[in-house]
Structure 1
Amino acid sequence: MSGSSSLTNASLSIEERSFCVEFDLKVASRGIFLGDDPLKFAFPLLLVQLGLVTFLSATFRWLLKPFRQPTFVADILGGIALGPSFLGHNEEFYQRIFPKESLIVLDVCGLLGILFFTFLVGMRTDVTVIKKAGGLSLVIGITSFCLPMLMTRSLAVFLRSNVHMDRNFEFSLYALPFFQSIINFHGIYSILTELKLLNSELGRLALSSSMISTLCGWSFAVVVKTVTEARQGGLSKSVAGTMSSRLLFVFFIMCFCRPMMFWMIKRTPEGKTLKEHYVCTLSLMVFAGIFYCEVMGIELIMGVIFLGMAVPAGSPLGSGLIDKLELFVSAVLLPSFMVSIGRRVDVYGITLSNFGKVELFIVGGFLGKVVGAMVPSIFRKFPVADAFWIGLLMSCQGFVDISFFSHALYRKYITKESFSIMVLMATLQAGIIKPLVRSLYDPSRKNTAYKRRTIQHSRRDTELRILACICHEDNVPAVINILEASNPTSASPIGVYVLELVELVGQAMPLLINHQTNKTSHSNARSDRIVKAFSQYQIRNQEIVAVQCFTSIAPYATIHDDICSLALEKITSLVIIPFQKFDSPALRVMQNKVLQVASCSVGILIDRAHGILKAPKTLSDSWFTLHVCVIFIGGPDDREALAYGTRMAEHPNINITVIRIYEIGHKEFDLIETQLDLNAVNDFRIIHADNSRAVYKDVGVSDGPETAEVLHSLSEGFDLMLVGRRRDEGSSILMGLSQWCEVRELGVIGDMLTSSDYKSEASVLVVQQQASVVDDVNAASSIQLSRQYL
């Protein structure tokens, strides 16, 4: 062997056996042309291992995609497929891919991967959820941990007393109850995120309950560990040193690390990314914490989780760290952990007898969690199906649970056979639960309205309730001016519910914050400014406008749940959503979701960069006049837009023009829709017959190009255009226009009015009448008209 090679005698602990092996510590190969075998060098071998598990995981994701399985299942199956259960069952392949001298490098990378992964999990854990949680979340969180612990512990006592088993497996009975009872919320968070149910009512309940249960489990583990060490060592120096080192670790985090994090947050301007040296400092804290825990004998996973929990929830610090670390951890380090797990899972080493015993604990823990969640829910009058849904979620397991199993195997709390069974069952359980959860719960059903919630069908002498969504601060002036244009009066006041939409980053728990508009907000500066702006609007309109401000912090993929739930709860007639064409695609998806499931009418507000709605002046100024145009072609959405325009026309500072576009020489076959359109137009003309500020015009066209010509003639002289969203795109007067529609959620006419080719500074409000009752309205109208003709 060459002089540059360094030979070392090392003792490696592999599962229960010890080997004395001699191996070369060289890292990089010189290449095959110089006679080196790359697989006998640490770095290329690690790349092969990671590449294989990544390829296998991607293959399983592709195969399982039609079955909508969680990514956790595919990732674990990829690791198992590489191990002795499948490819590694070939002894030659296993020795080639997993030579004994490579195991240290692989295990170190895997350990580092799961430690950083659990650190990110800790950052997503909001410990304040215990203070904010309702009684039901608290009860479910406690019972779903205590009940399975009681059941599995009783089962362990029974088996030790009545069933003969080998000593190693009997020792596992002390640990199995805990590992099958603890709930790690990250598995639940992952499934809710993949199902886009994070913001649903039951999703919030399950997530907050799981966080409480997780904290109960972690606290129980620390207490049991401390008590066990005290019993084994009495008041010995080692036990006292370990306990004092834990207290010192907590003290150091709370009194040094956390204040430093708050200092970093104050030094980071709102909306700016985290400075590079802050990320380096925080990463150094993680490495220092891991080193301290390793030196002092503190459980590594518990240490990094606690350090992650110390990061202020929802802060730019947490989101910045997640942005910087998550991709590297999930793409590079976590595959090492999956390989490490996979090589320890051996289905050929499982005996039927021990499989049955471990399965009893798994089933007992599962039933305990389900029952522990169902019973409190049913007592609170939840439907049995919803209670069962929560119970299923509470029994989900994920990467953190697998890491606990791995730690237990390393500490020899459980046998390798028990470990293999637990990993396989956790994977199978996750694969079954996700499809069940998807089929049992549809959050959109709660948004079904059983009454018309539209402007058209609202009484003119009652309060008009509007939910106004704010995506950016720039939306505030336009939304306030639209609200003032809605003509609040003492006879028909306006109830305004302002919902600021904030993307969830840096924490796992979505929040719906109810601000007190007469108090200073304690949220971030942007929220504070938005609340103050609407508070001033309420003050200027005492007794005719009431404002309530909310902030929804949630992923954009599920934030529509908060919008629709709040609209349903507050019985609103209209939801206003600002639209920016070049915004995040996720916001576009959110708008489409609201259009599909909202329990009331929806208005999408496109505010031109130089439109009059951007002006800081308001309609309460006597000299300020707003010119509004309503484009009416026909259909429920156009009738809703006309009804809104009819209300606006009563404002003394608004001039309104209604342009009815009809097809020349066209004979209508849908008499019901035609009659409804004529009724809406006649109502407007009768109400504003003596209003000099209201103008009505009929414009006949023959085809789509003539319609486009009419629209272009309206490009000047108006500040706001009201138009319906949906209509028959096969109509002759729209023929050819639908082919050029780029933004489908705005409809054909709305898209044309907001396109770059349309030279206008007017803002546009695209209105969709309450989608869930349009058919009911038409059916009821059909019956009424039929009676008129009989």
Structure 2
Amino acid sequence: MVEGQQRRCIMPLPSLNDATKDPLNPLNLMFLQMGLMLVMSHVFYLILKPLGQSGPVAQIIAGMVLSPTLLSQSGALHSFYKATMSLAYFNFLVFLFRVCFMFLIGLETDFSFMKRSLRCALSIAVCSVVSCSLLMISFAWLFLKVLHIQSNQTDVILIDVIVVSNTASPVVYRMVSDLKLDTSDIGRLAVSTALLIELTLNIGYTLMYTFRSKHNFLDVFLLSSFTLAIIIANWYLVPWFGTWYPKEKHISKAQVLFFIVIILILSTLIESRELSSAVPIFMLGLMFPREGKTYRTMLQLLRFPVHEFILPVYFGYIGYRLTLPHSRNGAEEKDPEHGYAGQYLILGVIVALSLLGKILGVLFACRFAKIPNHHAIFMACILCMKGHFGLQLVDSYPELQQLPLKEVADTLLSAIVITTLFSGMLTSSFRRRKETSFVHTQTTIESHPIDTELRILSCVYSPRQTTAAISLISALTSSPQTPLTSLLTQIVELPKKKKPKDAHVEAEFRHDDDYGANDSKEINDTVDSFSKETKVLIQQYRIVSSLSNICQELCDAAEDFRVSIVFLPFHKHQRIDGKIKNDGEEIRTVNQKVLRQSPCSVGIFMDRNQTGFQQPHGSEIPQNVAMLFFGGEDDREALALSRWVAMHPQIHLTLIRFLRKSCLAHSQVTEASHRENEVLMSITNEDAENESDNTFLEEFRSRYVASGEVTYIEKEVEDRGETAGVVKEIGESYSLCIVGKGRAECPMTSGMNDWEECPEMGSVGDLLLCADLSITASVLVVQKHRHSLSDFTPH
């Protein structure tokens, strides 16, 4: 690459003098081209989806069918896609598309997960790039010899290395989303690794080109400073814009247009200086403030067009770039010395090196990172996918567009398409065949390690319930660095006059709607206020459905988001005057259905407003929380959840264990003090359930009680009467009581179901909700998820 060479990052718009070459208006022709590619993409997706193939694979195949290799080889379709005017506009529109989805990828990237997994993702990225580079350099002599490359050898080898080593983050991002792994650890790790690979190669190539073209160094510095200035300005502009229209749910269209124009100006300036704008635009999205309605508005306006329109056309365009040697016209393009055999040989070698290099590098890194084999193979397959950076790199090198290097360009373009298609098919097939290996297994809290990410889903119907849900989220988040992902879902019942077919779930692609709009505004304001004060981010979603379908939609959302527990509001709440008000039997019906069908653990929260649990963040008075332990899997699940509550600095947790007097008289208890001051209890003549209780309690006491973080109390009771008396005292002394729903056979609560009004809350939970006892504490009842064989059976 010589100093001062010109690169084509953006194809310039043609002059009007060329308009006579096209039979149609160029803009109309461009939209017809995109429409045809979009239709073909969706047709092939409908055909290949039943066969287990993902959307990107189908869309790339659609582009290949329309490419010069097949349908566009000659005839009317060839003229249709090779029109001079429309081709220029089409390439410019592809640039705009790339800006949009790179910004959206930055907005949607899980920054907290990316920071936690940075070391692992970086090691995988480095190993894969090094492995691919070494293999490509080792076979460079074959590449140069077979294609008879005499000039620009260093630059051609450099381009080959980047093409073989690169991974297209937009393709991986869409692939992971299509396979419903975007909320899984392995899916997010794949996206993070792909981003690191592409950003690193992009920055490395830019710096290398800059140092070789010294006149561009100042441009890089100025554009980097301009990007940094916009990022800093956004930290102040985004919150400020959110205050302009306090009565509106979203920011105005003019404000959205302002951000989009700034992004386009920055990307155009960068591309006009012969540099790639992918990294700066991604960084703008990644560093965009995440709280407030400005962020929500940008997401809602970009998600639908990008996922449903831009990306299918983009993937189709990748497939369209397939140009096999036999498809080129003109005798001047044929190599008389070795024909097409050498190009096909090099094409096969590049595809093989791309796949082999990624597989070897990724598997090597995953082995040291202790990633399971099936996840390592999945990572190796999906990271082989190529994309626009490679295509742009080949197109932007002028010498590759002239003979004899035109053969090199066509070979590289075809290798990018074939490698992406083959790796996509391989990834989809592996995901389908090993579906049980990707099933969400963290569906309970008891087996969930405290130092790993906890994903929770809180449901609300009204703004009043939002305050209680946020208080619970706050209790589980001891600091903004706590590895916890909280999702808040507003449930809106569809009016009965609407037909079932109109039921709709707004998870990612729904814009403003007419149902629950006023409540949504209040809920958003409450969440924004909490996030601004505590820096704890809460992701928001909406479910709009008929009453009969709410349970199914909610269970599907819990499964898609891979949460470990779902929090539901109780169908009653305590008013300011102390009276209990029923919010509707519909809520109770939904709660009962979710308890039976939920794919994870469930918690039902009864808020007692001012007398009950308050948000601990920012509170000067510590909240006193009691965990009532009677035994059984539900109580163990509730105790496991209490581990996160115990870590909050503004919460004092007390573990109260209920023991039966008659059992204590016949049991043999031995306590021993170890050098680490751990207290162990060994109880004989107990059944398997009690042994599990004691084992879990021992671990909890040695970790939290011995360190002084949790107070431990034992209460001796004989029957339900004594139990009810103790429970009443506890309910008057604490702001929150956490209890398991309870097991069927428990001597200390036997017969209490005779008093039950709400069996779904369990005997103890129902007792704590009794209005006659004047209990002031809020109540959280937890039911552990019951695993079944169907949980591990592919659907």
For the aligned pair, the TM-score class normalised by the smaller chain equals 0.5 to 0.7
| 1:501 matched to 2:492 | no
Deviation track 1:717-763 (CA, whole Å, cap 9, x = no partner) reads: x6x553689xxxxxxxxxxxxxxxxxxxxxxxxxxxxxxxxxxxxx9
Does structure 2 retain, via aligned residues, the 8 Å contact 1:137–1:209?
A: yes
Q: Which amino acid aligns with 1:285?
A: I
Please state how far the C-alpha of 1:56 moved relative to its aligned partner.
0.9
Determine helix, strand or coil for the equivalent of 2:760.
strand
How far residue 59 of structure 1 moved from its aligned partner, in angstroms, is: 0.7
Q: Deviations 1:331-386 (Å, cap 9, x if unpaired)?
A: 66666656765554334338343232133233223222222222232224333333
**What TM-score, normalized to structure 1?**
0.58
Unaligned runs of 5+ in 2: 1-7, 329-339, 449-453, 474-481, 490-506, 510-526, 543-555, 572-582, 585-589, 615-632, 639-656, 659-718, 732-742, 764-777
Equivalences for residues 453-468 of structure 1 within 5 A: none
The corresponding residue for 2:268 is 291
- Quote the residue 1:24 is aligned against: 19
The residue type paired with residue 696 of structure 1 is: D
Residues 431, 401 of structure 1: alpha-carbon distance in 2 compared, 3 angstrom cutoff: farther
Match of 2:433 among 430, 434, 439: 439
| Greater displacement, 164-173 / 317-326 | 164-173
Say if 2:217 is the partner of 1:243: yes
- Which of 152, 165, 174 is the matching residue for 2:148? 165
Matching residue of 1:386? 375
Distance across 2 between alignment mates of 1:296 and 1:426: 29
**Residue from 718, 722, 746 that aligns with 2:760:** 722
Contact 1:452–1:773 at 8 Å: present in 2 too?
Answer: no
Does the aligned pair in 2 maintain the 1:79–1:341 contact within 8 Å? yes
Q: Deviations over 1:666-723 (max 9, x none)?
A: xxxxxxxxxx96x56x76347xxxxxxx5727xxxxxxxxxxxxxxxx9xxx6x5536
1:684 correspondence with 2:749 = yes
Match of 1:424 among 418, 442, 448: 418
Kept after mapping to 2: 8 A contact 1:397/1:430: no
In structure 2, the residue matched to 1:488 is none
The residue aligned with 1:696 is 754
Q: 1:46 to 1:137 in 2, by over 3 A?
A: closer
What letter corresponds to residue 787 of structure 2 in structure 1? S
The correspondence of residues 256-405 of structure 1 with structure 2, limited to 5 A, is 256=230, 258-269=232-243, 272-302=249-279, 304-309=281-286, 311-312=288-289, 316-329=293-306, 344-347=321-324, 348-349=326-327, 351-398=340-387
Judge conservation of contact 2:363–2:376 (CA < 8 Å) in 1.
Answer: yes
Q: Is the 8 A contact 2:363 2:380 kept in 1?
A: yes
| Counterpart pick for 2:167 among 183, 187, 197 | 183
CA distance in 2, matches of 1:102, 1:149: 37
Task: Give the conservation status (yes or no) of the 8 Å contact 2:71–2:78.
Answer: yes
Distance 2:754 2:400 in 1: 83
1:500 is paired with a residue whose SS is strand
Change (3 A) 1:282 1:561: closer
> Is this contact kept in 2: 1:152–1:364, CA < 8 A?
yes
CA distance in 2, matches of 1:244, 1:128: 33
2: distance between equivalents of 1:114 and 1:208?
A: 18
In the alignment, which residue of structure 2 is the partner of 1:633? none
Structure 1 residue 63, shift from structure 2 partner: 0.4
> Any conservation in 1 of the 2:242–2:292 contact (CA below 8 Å)?
no
Deviation, 1:282, is 1.4
CA distance in 2, matches of 1:411, 1:447: 51
Counterpart amino acid of residue 424 in structure 1: I
With over 3 angstroms needed to count, the CA separation of the structure-2 counterparts of 1:555 and 1:422, relative to structure 1, is farther
Report the Cα offset of residue 144 of structure 1: 2.2
Distance in 1 between residues matched to 2:562 and 2:37, nearest whole Å: 41
TM-score (norm 2): 0.58
Structure 1 residue aligned with 2:179, among 187, 195, 205? Answer: 195
Letter in 1 for 2:420: A
Q: CA deviation at 1:650?
A: 4.2
Aligned to 2:530: 526
Q: What's the CA shift for 1:274?
A: 2.8
User: Is 1:602 equivalent to 2:597 in the alignment?
Assistant: no
Match of 1:60 in 2: 44
> Could you tell me which amino acid in structure 1 is paired with residue 434 of structure 2?
L
Aligned residue for 1:120? 104
Measured in 1, the distance between the counterparts of 2:472 and 2:321 equals 64
From 132, 138, 149, give the equivalent of 1:154: 138
The aligned counterpart of 1:78 is: 62
Secondary structure, aligned partner of 2:69: coil
Q: Which of 196, 218, 229 matches 1:255?
A: 229
CA distance in 2, matches of 1:77, 1:775: 35
Matches of 1:400 and 1:311, distance apart in 2: 23
> For residues 290 and 71 of structure 1, what CA distance do their matches in structure 2 show?
28
Counterpart amino acid of 1:298? L
* Structure 1 position 98, deviation (Å): 3.8
The CA distance in 1 between the partners of 2:109 and 2:447, in whole Å, is 41
Give me the identity figure in percent: 18
Residue 787 of structure 2 is aligned to residue 772 of structure 1: yes
Pick from 209, 212, 217 the counterpart of residue 201 of structure 2: 217
Give, as a single letter, the amino acid of the residue that structure 2 aligns with 1:68. Answer: G
Select 1:136's aligned residue among 120, 128, 147. 120
Q: Distance in 2 between matches of 1:178 and 1:59?
A: 33
Query: 1:700 maps to what in 2?
Result: none
Q: Structure 2: how far apart are the matches of 1:411 and 1:281?
A: 39
* Counterpart for residue 79 of structure 2: 95
CA distance in 2, matches of 1:551, 1:257: 19
Paired residue secondary structure (1:196)? coil
1:355, 1:421 within 8 Å by CA — same for their partners in 2? Answer: no
Q: In 2, are the aligned partners of 1:187 and 1:397 still within 8 Å (CA)?
A: yes
User: How far 1:405 moved relative to its partner?
Assistant: 5.4
Match of 1:571 in 2: none
Tell me the distance in 2 between the aligned counterparts of 1:444 and 1:648.
42
CA distance in 1, matches of 2:386, 2:167: 8
In structure 1, distance between residues paired with 2:92 and 2:599:
49
Equivalent residue of 1:651, what SS? Answer: helix
Aligned AA for 2:415? I
The letter for the 1-side match of 2:300 is D
- RMSD of aligned Cα (Å): 5.4
Q: Deviations over 1:219-273 (max 9, x none)?
A: 22222222332xxxxxxxxx32x22112111112212453145323233159942
Structure 2: which amino acid aligns with 1:772? H
- The aligned length equals 561
CA deviation string 1:623-671 (max 9, x = no partner): xxxxxxxxxxxxx99xx99x9997777411699xxxxxxxxxxxxxxxx
Change (3 A) 1:362 1:498: closer
| Cα distance, 1:432 vs structure 2 | 1.9
Following the alignment from structure 2 to structure 1, what is the Cα–Cα distance between the partners of residues 37 and 439? 38
The answer for the alignment partner of 1:486 in structure 2 is: none
Q: Provide the C-alpha distance between the structure 2 equivalents of 1:551 and 1:69, rounded to a whole number of angstroms.
A: 34
Q: Matches of 2:613 and 2:302 in 1, distance apart?
A: 49
Q: Does the 8 Å contact 2:101/2:170 carry over to 1? A: no
Instruction: Structure 1: state its 5+ residue gaps.
Output: 1-12, 28-38, 230-238, 454-465, 484-495, 507-522, 532-549, 568-574, 583-587, 608-612, 621-635, 656-675, 687-693, 698-713, 726-762, 777-790
Q: In the TM superposition, what is the alpha-carbon distance from 1:477 to its structure 2 partner? A: 6.7
Counterpart amino acid of residue 165 in structure 1: H
Q: Deviations over 1:145-197 (max 9, x none)?
A: 2222222222224543x646355896644312111212233332222222222
